[in-house]
Every structure is written in structure tokens, then in C-alpha cells.
Amino acid sequence: MNWDDIRYVVALYREGSISAVARQFRVDKTTVTRRLKAMEGQLGTTLFERQQGRWTATTSGQAVLAKALEIEEQIASLVRISETAGEDVSGVVRVTALDFVAKDFLLPGLTQLLDRYPALRIELVTSDQSLSLARREADIALRFSRPQDGNLIIRRVANIPFSIYVSADHLPDERCWLAYDHNLADLPESRWLSEHQPDATIRFRNNSLTCLLDAVRLGLGKAILPVHMAAQHKDLQRWQETSVVVERDLWLVIHPESRNAPKIKVVSDWIVEMFKTGSVLPG
């Protein structure tokens, strides 16, 4: 059985769309369909059915996918083990972090890192989603939420303060707030707002920190933002000179099988160094 076919089937399970899988693998939709049909032909069963515009695994497809997901993690494990064998700092290291963390803390020192290790390549994925380290969607993750399960190497790298900001040019109504979507109600910023401003008028909600910042700059209302992020914009000011209202720990997370890979160690040590300056408290 061709592992490439399995990869396409797993991707379709996650994406639910032939077009999305085609974009992921940079192929046309015909190729994705052909891979799916090849797998179904080899197994003698239908793996997916189309429901309301989305490809959904059949009962037999779910059983096959359970094993396929295990194979995916095993192959990722083999790759990680092979990377620890050499001593050269070379190849791709994929780092995932929130947009402002990547922009304000990592990018400023990236030139120095790459100049020192010319064979090293960095893929910096700015995403609010937690990419899987087990499946090698990322090699290193910077997360505000400390992972509670899984066999992972976790290190606290910083404590990042948050305060309340408004536009200096377009002062909003005192009651007008901007906040995260309801599905992010468990975040410390959301909890603080619910507890301390129960009568607040939420004029705008979004699931992106960068988008919230832009909305504040436009004068739509006030919001809780990272101090370091807001300080980059002269058109923002603290609301009524508010002090820090929330502090959040930032965690560096690595899969244990990657910890001894030279390129992973170099990049993780560099990340720790990048957080020793700025409006944060080093971990």
C-alpha cells in the first residue's frame, strides 16, 4: 500500500474538502480524487461519503482512519529519530506561534540565527490553532495554554502582561468593549471582562488578537491587549492609565523525540534568548 495514498485520505478526513487537500499538497483536485479511489480500491470499501458539501468518513472509513492516524504518527516518529543521529544544524524547523509573538519577539532575531547557521531553514506558522507536534505539523510550539496531556517537553519562557487599550485618536464610549468570540470565553482576558465589567456593551467580537487590536485602533471600543503588542502602536493608549489586568504564561513545547535533534535544540535555545528582552518577564 502506498503511504502517499494514506496521507491524502488522512488529509481529507481533517479538511473535509477535496479542494482544501489539493491546496495543502499543491496538486489538482483530480489527483486527490485518484488517490482516494486508489485506497478504496485496495481496501475494497468506501471510505468517504459526501454530506452537505463535506466529505465525511463512513463507518468502515473511520476504522481505517484510526489505523492510518497511528501510522502517520509512527512515520513522524521515525523522521524525528533520524534527525537526532546527525550533528549538523541543517534542514527545516517549523515553529508555530501567535502572530504578535512571531512578529515582535522572533522575527527581530531571525537574521542573526540564519546567518550563524546557513543550512538552517525556518518555517514560522502564525496561527491561533494548536498544530500537532506528534504529527509533525510543527516542531516547536509557543502556546499560552500549558498542555495538560501528551508526552511533551514543556518550558515556561515568559510571562506576558495584558492591559486595557483604546484609540488615542478616537476615544470610544466608556461602555463599549471589544472581545473574543463566545467559544473563547475561558481565556483569562474573557474571564476578567465578565467578572469586572458584567454590564459591558460588547460592540464587536472576533477570534483573532490581531483583528481585535486593529478594531481598537479604529476606535470601535476598548479591549484587553498584550502590553508589548500595544506598545508598538503610538495611536493606542491605556484606558484611564489602567495597570496590568491579566498576566499569561507563554510555554515552549517540543516533542520528546525531537529534543536531541541539533537543529531543534539550536532553535529552541534561540527562542528562549529572544524572550530575555522586551515587555515580558523571562520564564
pLDDT digits (tens, 9 = 90+) for 161-216: 999 999 988 876 777 899 999 888 889 999 999 999 888 889 999 988 889 999 99
CATH number for the domain running over 3-83: 1.10.10.10
Q: Is residue 79 very low, low, confident or very high in pLDDT (cuts 50, 70, 90)? A: confident
Per-residue confidence (pLDDT) for residue 161, from 0 to 100: 93
The CA-atom distances, in angstroms, between 44 and each of 10, 38, 72 are: 17, 10, 21
pTM of the model as a whole: 0.69
Is the pLDDT at 85 greater than 70? The verdict is no
Query: E strands along the chain, which residues?
Result: 48-51, 54-57, 91-97, 120-126, 140-143, 153-167, 176-180, 201-206, 223-226, 236-238, 246-254, 281-282
Q: What is the pLDDT of residues 227-273, one digit of tens each?
A: 988 988 999 999 887 789 999 999 999 988 888 888 999 999 999 98
Per-residue confidence (pLDDT) for residue 277, from 0 to 100: 55
Rounded to an integer, the average pLDDT of 44-49 is 90
Is the pLDDT at 280 greater than 60? The verdict is no
Positions of CATH 1.10.10.10 in the chain: 3-83
Positions of CATH 3.40.190.10 in the chain: 91-151+259-282, 160-248
Q: Which CATH superfamily is domain 91-151+259-282 in?
A: Periplasmic binding protein-like II (3.40.190.10)
CATH topology of domain 160-248: D-Maltodextrin-Binding Protein; domain 2 (3.40.190)
Per-residue confidence (pLDDT) for residue 123, from 0 to 100: 93
